[in-house]
Amino acid sequence: MRVRFTRNDLRLRTDAARFERGRALALTIGDLYEDEWSLVATIDDQGKSYQAMVHDGSPPLSAECDCREGAPPSFCEHSVAVGLYYLGDDEDFA
């Protein structure tokens, strides 16, 4: 996936609390798989593992996750974490 989104794009797709939670969860991502259109990662969240995906729809950016709040078009904190991890900006991982 070629980067076509920014931290601000992620911030605009969710609320402030989920974005901040996603920042913390980005540290729990062990590996990331990417193809031409999507990013996929497993996130460890308080002892549970979730698989989240971020899709480049050029625009809109979309996401899905197997958590209870991750159905499209929602951007849950796990999807935010995947996006931030991919962007790799150390200032995001507080």
pTM of this structure: 0.88
Cα–Cα dist 13/18, whole Å: 10
Establish if 74 belongs to a structural domain. yes
Encoded tokens for 58: 């050029």
Establish if 49 belongs to a structural domain. yes
SS3 call for 65: strand
Structurally, the chain folds into a number of domains equal to: 1
Residue type, 6: T
Q: What is the pLDDT of residues 43-79, one digit of tens each?
A: 999 999 999 999 987 667 899 999 999 887 789 999 9
Cα–Cα dist 2/22, whole Å: 21
Q: Which domain holds residue 18?
A: 7-89
List the one residue out of 41, 31, 49, 38 whose CA is nearest residue 5: 38
Establish if 94 belongs to a structural domain. no
